[in-house]
Structure 1
Amino acid sequence: MKKADSWREDSDWETLHRDILAVIFAKLDVMDLTNGASRLCSSWFLASHNRTLWNTIDLGKLGKVKKGRSLRSIMNKIRTFLFNVNEERTSLTYITKFSHTAPKNLFFTSSSWTEDGDVLFAAERLPNIEKLALPRRLLESDKSLQLAFGKWKNLKTLIIAHNRYPLTKAFEFQVLGENCSNLTNLKYLGCLDEHIAEQMARYLQSIKRLSLQCSVVTTDEVLLLITNLRNLAVLNLSHCYGLDQESDMVLVYNLVQAASKLDKFITCSQGCTSCQEICSRSWVNKHWRNDEIKEFEF
C-alpha cells in the first residue's frame, strides 16, 4: 500500500502543468536545474526549456554555485589550469541547449578571462541580448568584437570594467557606434584617458545614461563627455579617483556649470568612506554589480 501511494505521488509530480513547474524551477540555481530537475522525467525536461526561466544568464552566479561545492571547485581549477579549458564557454554551450535564444541579459564573471572569439561565441548563440556585462580581461581581436556586436542589434545597456592587464588593450568604442544604435546606457569602470573619452564622444551619441563609478578620471575628459554627448541626461561620478585632485578651480567651475544641463549629476559627498576603498580589487568585484543608476544594477 505504501509503495502504491509513493508511485501515485511520483506520478502527480510528473503531471504537474509546465507553467507551475516553471515557477518552481525559477527558484533553483542553474546547476540544479540543468543537471538535476531536467533529468527527472520527460515532462520536467520539457519544462526546463521554458523561456521564462532563461531571461538572464549570470555566469558570475554560476561561479558561486561551483565554489559552494569544494571538490568540484578544486577539480575545475585543476582541469582549467592543466588543459586550458575555457569554463565560461563550456558553461554557455551547455546552458544554451536549454535557453536557446531566449536570454535578454548576459553577465560574465567580472574577473574572468575571455579568449579571442569567446564574445562572438556568446553573440552567435544569444543574439537577443539587451543588457550585457563584459569581464575585465578581454583577449579579443577587433574583428571578433566587430562580428559579435554586429549580432547584438538590440543591445541597450553595456557594462564594461576594463583594466589594462598584460596582453589586453583598450576597448575600442567605435565598434559600438557602428553596430549598436539602440545603446543608451553605458557603464565604464577603468581609466578614462583622452583617447577613450574622445572615442565615447565621437561614436556614442545615443548614450543617455553614463556611469563612471569607481573609475580614474580627470576634469578635462569628463567635461569633454558632458559637452559632446548631446543626449546625455544622467551622469554618475561616484567613487571616482582624480576629481578631488584637481587644483584648477576654473576647470572645476566649468565642469559644474556644464553638468547643470543634465537631469541628474551624481557625485560623492566629502569624506565618502567608499572612496577610500576603491583601490581594493575585492571592493570592485563586490560592488560593480551595484550603481546609483538603476539601469546598471544586476
Structure 2
Amino acid sequence: MPIPQEVTGEEIDKDVRQELQSLPKTLAEDVARNLVMVARLIDEDPEAAYGYSRVALRLASRVAAVREAAGFAAYASQKYSEALAEFRAARRMTGNVELWPVMADCERGLGRPEKALDMAGAPEVHKLDKAGQVEMRLVAAGARRDMGQLDAAIVTLQSPELASHSVQPWTARLRYAYADALLAAGREAEAREWFAKAVEADRDGSTDASDRLAELDGVEFTDALDESGADAGSAGASREIGVAAAEDEPVGEAEAPAADEDKDKDKDKDEDED
C-alpha cells in the first residue's frame, strides 16, 4: 500500500524511534513510516491500519513496538486471536504488564469471559498503574455482563475511582460503563444520573453519553432536511451525490409541450405537401 510522501517516519514516538535504531537506517525508516500510518488510520479505517501493520511486521517482527502496533491494529479489526498472539509476543520481549487489560479483553472477544475474569484476579494487575487498573476493572465488568451477571458487573465497577469527583482520562468511560450496566439492570433513574455525570467528564466526546442521556429524557433528534417526511429526506440525499432532486423535476416537464408543438408543425407541413 502506498504511503503519502509527506509521511517521513519522524512523526512516531521517540521511544519507538529508539527501538527502531537496532535496524539498518533505511529499513528503520520504512518501518517507522508504516507505523505512522497505523496510528493515523486505526480509528477511522482499522482494516487499512491492519494492512500497514502487516507490512511493518514483515519488515521487523523482532521489534516489540512493531508487535504491539500489529496487536492493536488486529484488535481494532476484531481479529482477536491474532491480536492476542501479538500482545503476548510484545510482552515476552519487554516484560511489561501494561498490555494485560487489552489481552484480557481479547479473551472476551474470543468468547472466553471466564478467562478474562481469571486475568482480572492475577498478580499482574497489582503491577498496573492506576489507568491500567481502571481498564482492567472495565474489562472484568464486561466479562460479568457477557456471562449474564449484571449485578456482579455493577458491583465490579463500584470503586474509589468511580466515586471520585476529580476528572481523569478514564473517568468518562468508567461512569458510562456504570450507567449502561444500571440501565441494563432496569435501574433507569440511577442510570440517568450516571450518564449525566459521564457527560460532565466527557470533555473530548469519547462516549455517546449525551445521546444516551437525551434518549432517556425522551428527546428526539430529527434531520433538518427531513421536514416533509421520507420523501424530503430522499431528496436531500440525492443532492449530496449530485443527482437531481424530485423538486427539480418540473423543469423537465415544462419542456415536454415544446416537443409536442414541433410534432404538430411537422404534421401540418406534411399535409400541405400532400
Structure-1-length-normalised TM-score: 0.36
User: Higher RCO, 1 or 2 (CA under 8 Å, sep at least 6)?
Assistant: 1
Task: Tell me which protein shows more strand as a share of its residues.
Answer: 1
Task: Tell me which protein shows more helix as a share of its residues.
Answer: 2
Structure-2-length-normalised TM-score: 0.38
